[in-house]
Amino acid sequence: MLLFLDFDGVLQPLGVPVGPGRVRSYSGPSLPYATVLTEILDRYLPSLDVVVSSTWARTRSTEAVKGLLPPALAERVIGTLWEHPPPRPLSRYRHIQYWLKRVYVTRPPSWLALDDDARGWPEKERSRLIHCAAPIDDPLTQQALLATLGRFYWSDLWWGSGPAPQAPDLRRAHKVMVTWQIPKDVRPVLLGSTREEFELRLDLLLTVFAVPHWPSQRELGWPGQWLHLPCKELDGERPLQVMLMHGPEGIRRVRDLVWSHWSDRAGSGEAYE
């Protein structure tokens, strides 16, 4: 899951009251509520990637922005909106859409935005926005964040009608699906809709996922891209298509192919990234 994170009005106040009807601009310390957010996100951080949407990142590198955050939160930052500046000014929602289309070849993962600016958000997408009428130290803002995170997080992890698999298995499956950019509507077909199907298929998929760097990143643009491309060893079908059409047997076929391919290359002494 992606979280687009604003700073002003979220991790620090926009202003400080100095009297009846009087407010002065906030002057520091910087981002005093970043630790509060890190603590709130604790259980979600292993499955969360953060993209900084704040205009603070317009003139700072991603590494500089990460240096402003607590280490546990900084580790989850994968970039900023401003690494892909739009050709003309856009609302925050439109900028997020622009970023998603630039970064993801197929459908993007689930995403949310934590922001104090609700302008330009279409009504049908408002469920993705945790609107910070007050910064994240406010109990009501915290409740809104936790409620929205929980709703999106668990809907990503389990879709079956029966008993859910164990939480660690759900998280492992989610990591594989996001890394391979498997669309949400395809995941039930790939992993099954019962706990028994899920556990069997996940065990097989993890053996595919574990193959050491196949193909190497010199050959393809992102991990798992090969799953979406025609493969001559599979009669021109895409590995993902084989796994979807043939279930566990299809996954085993792809597993045997990738491990055979890796073994041949490793045996030849070819280096891997």
- For residue 34, the domain's CATH number is 3.40.50
Number of structural domains (the chain) is: 2
Q: Determine, yes or no, domain membership for 272.
A: no
Whether residue 122 sits in one domain with residue 197: no
pLDDT for residue 17: 66
Predicted pLDDT of residue 43: 82
The pTM (predicted TM-score) of the whole model is: 0.64
pLDDT at 218: 46
Residues shown for the chain: 273
Q: Cα separation of 251 and 183, whole Å?
A: 17
Does 238 map to a domain?
A: yes
Q: Is residue 197 part of a domain?
A: yes
Domain contains 227: yes
Q: Which of 46, 38, 27 is nearest to 136 (CA)?
A: 38
**Residue ranges in 77-220 assigned as alpha helix (H):** 92-103, 139-157, 167-179, 187-191, 195-209
168-187 tens-digit pLDDT: 898 889 888 888 888 878 89
Q: What is the pLDDT of residues 110-143, one digit of tens each?
A: 899 999 999 999 999 999 999 999 999 999 999 9
Confidence at residue 267, expressed as pLDDT on a 0 to 100 scale: 55
Domain end (from 134, 156, 178) = 156
What is the model's pLDDT at position 191?
Answer: 94
Q: Please give the pLDDT value at position 272.
A: 42
Q: Is residue 273 one of the residues assigned to a domain?
A: no
Residues 180 and 146 in one domain: no
Residue 105: its pLDDT value, please? 67
Q: Do 63 and 92 belong together in one domain?
A: yes
240-48-192-198 Cα dihedral, nearest 10 degrees: 110
Q: What stretches in the chain show pLDDT beneath 50?
A: 216-218, 220, 269, 271-273
Give Cβ neighbours of residue 20 (< 8 Å, ≥ 6 apart).
none
In contact, 114 and 6? CB cutoff 8 Å: yes
Name the β-bridge partners of 122. Answer: none
Distances 218 to 57, 166, 181, 273 between C-alpha atoms, Å: 29, 36, 19, 8
Q: Are residues 23 and 91 in the same domain?
A: yes
Provide the pLDDT for residue 268: 52
Q: Do 9 and 89 fall within a single domain?
A: yes
pLDDT at 77: 95
Domain assignment of residue 60, given as a range: 2-156
